[in-house]
Structure 1
Amino acid sequence: MGDYTIAELQTLVRAPMMTGLSVAMIDMGLVSTAIEAAAMSKQIAGAAAKYPANSIIQAAFSEATLKSGEVKLDKPEVKPEEVKSGAMIEEAIADINAAIALVDGKASAPEVMEYKQFIYDCGVAVAEAAGSGLFGTGTKVSAAEAEALDRFKLVLGL
């Protein structure tokens, strides 16, 4: 867990989680949401292996950190009106900004860029996991999901 407090680690984990969750909630469906949740879990579980030299990702997403149980996230209460109004996207952007502000100066510029890419990739993985059709088939990334991803990309400077 290195140079980060438990609260800071929670901030680092919350940014990609909220990014993925907010994308999943855009086109919520029983089957598609389950498929998207699995895609999000896969991204989080594979983060440390995908970025072995990134101190940010190693601190927040290493097997030791994830299994320690010390980094806990409050489950956000998802209200339909927040999804429709875009408030969830705004909350995810606030979480992204908080996480980036936290690592700025604590990690190298290449590590920060990789972390930003990881956050974005979590949203992409969720958007591409299931389509809008029956049982998650059909068009994979809806127009609303693509719009959210564009906003995240802009905020992340990618």
Structure 2
Amino acid sequence: MVDVGLPGYMRLLSTNAASKEIRSNPRLLIYGECVRVEHPQILRELSKGRTCLAACPESEHINIIALKVASIVSRLELEELLVLTVDGSPHCIQLHHAVEEALKIARSPVEVKHLVIYKGKASEISKEAIKTARYLFKIENLIKTRTS
């Protein structure tokens, strides 16, 4: 059953980097595809006034995702970029890394907000947390410090 309150389904990788959809509304939400099924109410709320593109790092390599995002931010002046995924997924976390890498490669000044859904609520995650998540040694030390 299709939820009519959800945004039209557009896939990141099959959307042209300079798409009319994005040009006409440069407030972009890139979300993990599973959010649409698992948390439609959160997607419905955050999609208001934004162009929404779905991606799935479980089936799409993050290098391809990053190149598409870099292509978009290189060609268009985005007003806003939100990344929304579920928390705890070894695949979804890669979407956050891919977007950060794309912005670095493209030297894009666009501000990005990272959001994860945990226990039915979307929470903002800092860029520092996204970067730290790449370093298991640092995380291990944080855990040891916390438990000592």
TM range, normalised to the smaller chain?
0.3 to 0.5
Compare relative contact order (CA 8 Å, sep 6+) and give the higher one, 1 or 2.
1
Structure whose residues are more often helix by fraction = 1
Structure whose residues are more often strand by fraction = 2
TM-score of the two chains, using structure 1 as the length reference? 0.32
